């Protein structure tokens, strides 16, 4: 499975669209980026594509009104995430404002979910 890498420009744009809040953490994921709140990812970058996790109602609204794309590897897209329209991947024409609004909706939805519990350390096998 080929993992597309985000360019520096893709990463810079992603950071500019994600809410600038102290409870938002942006961290690298497989050469791309993920934006998290309470340990849960609400937005991610896969190559140039931004994927977001929305409430079922918001997801249906976005997918029925826009030409969204699967988010993640073609052979195994990430369940529960919607890729923003490819034409929104370029700056300009008000698409940044639209992308920012949908990313904010994803943030609001995921911020209301229970915090993700840290994984317990794996037990070491006895020798």
Going from N- to C-terminal start, the domains of the chain cover 8-111
**Residue 74: its pLDDT value, please?**
82
Mean per-residue pLDDT, 2-22 = 91
Q: Which two tokens stand for residue 40?
A: 């849960």
pLDDT > 70: percent of the chain: 90
76 compared with 100, residue with greater pLDDT? 100
| pLDDT > 70? residue 105 | yes
| pLDDT > 60? residue 124 | yes
Fold category of 8-111 in CATH: Yope Regulator; Chain: A, (3.30.1460)
How far, in whole angstroms, is CA 21 from its chain's centroid?
Answer: 16
- Write the pLDDT tens digit of every residue in 22-56: 999 999 988 899 999 999 999 999 999 999 999 99
Mean pLDDT of the chain: 89
| pLDDT > 60? residue 91 | no
């Amino acid at each position: 499975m080929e993992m597309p890498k985000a360019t520096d420009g893709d990463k810079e744009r992603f950071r500019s669209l994600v809410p600038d809040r102290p409870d938002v953490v942006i961290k690298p994921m497989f050469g791309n980026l993920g934006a998290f709140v309470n340990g849960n990812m609400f937005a991610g970058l896969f190559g140039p594509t931004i994927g977001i996790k929305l409430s079922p109602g918001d997801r249906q609204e976005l997918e029925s009104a826009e030409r969204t794309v699967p988010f993640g590897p073609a052979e195994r897209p990430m369940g529960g995430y919607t890729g923003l329209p490819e034409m929104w991947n370029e700056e300009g024409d008000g698409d940044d404002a639209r992308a920012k609004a949908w990313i904010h909706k994803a943030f609001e939805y995921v911020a209301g979910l229970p915090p993700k519990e840290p994984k317990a350390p794996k037990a070491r096998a006895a020798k």
